[in-house]
Amino acid sequence: MDISVVVPLFNEEESLPELVAWIDKVMQENSFTYEVMLVDDGSNDHSWDVVEKLRAENANVKGIKFRRNYGKSAALNAAFEQVQGDVVITMDADLQDSPDEIPELYNMITKDGYDLVSGWKKVRYDSKIAKNIPSKFFNWTTRRISKIYLHDFNCGLKAYRKEVVKSIEVYGEMHRYIPVIAKWAGFTKIGEKVVKHQKRKYGESKFGWNRFINGYLDLITITFVSRFGKKPMHFFGLWGTLFFLAGGIITLWLIIEKLVALHNNAIFRQVTDQPLFYLALLAMVIGMQLFLSGFIGELISRSSADRNKYLIEKVLQ
C-alpha cells in the first residue's frame, strides 16, 4: 500500500464526508493505493455514525473509536500502530489542511529520501492574537532547544516513512514534538514544505490558550526524557554532587574561619549563628536528595522492560 492517511477527529461530523471525498479524488488522480484511518477521539456528536457510513461506501476508509476523549497524541499513536502504508500522512479533520498537498509530500519521502516532512502554514487564516503570535514564539523556542529548524512544529499536515511511526511512541500532548521524538530515535532527515492553509468551514477550533502552556511543559519533558531517560544518574547525580560539594565547601570554610579566629584570639561569630551556614546546609540536603533521585531513577530504568530498546536499521549476516 502506498499511503495511509491518518485523521484524528473530535466532533467533526460536518466536514468528514467532504474531506474523505477530497482525499479519494486526489488518490484516484495519482493512482495511489491508500487507506484513510479516521480516529474518533470520543466525539459527542454523530461523527462515528458518519465514519461508519463512509466505511460502508468506501472500503479504503477505516475507523478507530475511543470511549472518551484522550487527546490528539493518543489518537495518532493508536493509528500509527494500525497503518500499513509505506508513507503515512497526518492531517486535521477540519478541512484547513488540503489533501492536494499529499502527492508532493509523498514524493519528498519516497524520492527525496526524507524520513519526515512537516508542513509550514506560511500564510494563516487564524486569529493573529489568539494563534499566530503565540505560535511564532512557541516555534522559535522549540527550534532553539531542539536544533530542528522547522517553522511550524504544530502543523497537523505531516508525512512520515512507515518506519518512523512504527518506531516512536506519542503520548500526553507530545504530538507537537513528533519531529523531536523522531530525531532522538535516529531519524534525522527532517524536511519542511510550505502548505496551503484554508479557512475553517465548519464548527470552531477545539484548542485554547492552555495548549501553549502545556506545550512548553511537554517540551521540557521530551528534552529531559530523550537525553536522560535511560541514564537519570547523569543528570541528578551531577547536580546533586555539585550542590553537596558547594554546601560542604562553604561549611568547611566557615569552620576553618572560626578556628583561625580562635587561634588568633580574634572576635568571631558562631558557625550556627551565620545565615550562610544554613544556606550551605540546605545545599547539602538538596544535593543528597538529587543524588538519591538519580540512584532511584537508575534502579527503575534498569528494571524497565525496554531498557535495551534500540532501533536497528540494517543487519548484514
Are 46 and 148 contained in the same domain?
yes
Residue 113 belongs to a domain: yes
All cell numbers assigned to 156 = 497537523
Are 210 and 289 contained in the same domain?
no
Query: Distance between CA atoms of 163 and 148, rounded to whole angstroms?
Result: 20
Query: Distance between CA atoms of 88 and 158, rounded to whole angstroms?
Result: 8
Single residue among 192, 210, 228 that ends a domain in this structure: 228
Residue 310 belongs to a domain: no
Are 219 and 276 contained in the same domain?
no
Mean pLDDT, rounded, for 139-165: 89
Are 23 and 133 contained in the same domain?
yes
Are 40 and 109 contained in the same domain?
yes
Residue 170: CATH number of its domain = 3.90.550.10
Reading phi first (left if > 0) and then psi (alpha if -120 to 50, else beta), residue 266 is in beta
For the chain, the domain total comes to 2
Residue 71 belongs to a domain: yes
Give the containing element (helix H, strand E) for 4.
Answer: strand 3-9
Lowest average pLDDT, out of 32-41, 83-92, 107-116, 291-300, goes to: 291-300
More confident position, 105 or 135: 105
Whether the pLDDT of residue 184 is over 90: the answer is: no
pLDDT tens digit sequence for 138-148: 788 888 878 88
Give the containing element (helix H, strand E) for 119.
Answer: strand 116-120
Mean pLDDT, rounded, for 259-270: 83
Single residue among 208, 228, 248 that ends a domain in this structure: 228
Instruction: Give the pLDDT score at 163.
Output: 96
b/e string for 292-301 if b means 16 or more Cβ within 10 A?
Answer: ebbeebbeeb
Model confidence pTM above 0.85: no
Helix (H) and strand (E) counts in the chain: 10, 7
Whether the pLDDT of residue 310 is over 60: the answer is: no
More confident position, 307 or 227: 227
More confident position, 89 or 177: 89
Pairing type for strands 116-120 and 158-161 reads antiparallel
Whether the pLDDT of residue 129 is over 60: the answer is: no
Residue 315 belongs to a domain: no
Are 223 and 289 contained in the same domain?
no
Residue 257 belongs to a domain: yes
Mean pLDDT, rounded, for 149-173: 91
Residue 317 belongs to a domain: no
Residue 199 belongs to a domain: yes
Kindly report the average pLDDT of the chain as a whole number: 86
Sign of CA dihedral 69, 12, 102, 36: positive
The pLDDT confidence band at residue 282, using thresholds 50, 70 and 90, is very high
Cβ 150 vs Cβ 143: under 8 Å: yes
Instruction: Give the pLDDT score at 66.
Output: 94
Residue 314 belongs to a domain: no
Are 99 and 172 contained in the same domain?
yes
pLDDT tens digit sequence for 190-221: 999 999 887 777 766 655 556 666 666 777 77
The pLDDT confidence band at residue 273, using thresholds 50, 70 and 90, is confident
Are 239 and 171 contained in the same domain?
no
241 CB-near residues (< 8 Å, 6+ apart) = 287, 291
Single residue among 228, 253, 276 that ends a domain in this structure: 228
Are 207 and 277 contained in the same domain?
no
Domain range for 158: 3-228
Cβ 87 vs Cβ 159: under 8 Å: yes
Are 74 and 199 contained in the same domain?
yes
Lowest average pLDDT, out of 36-40, 106-110, 119-123, 248-252, goes to: 119-123
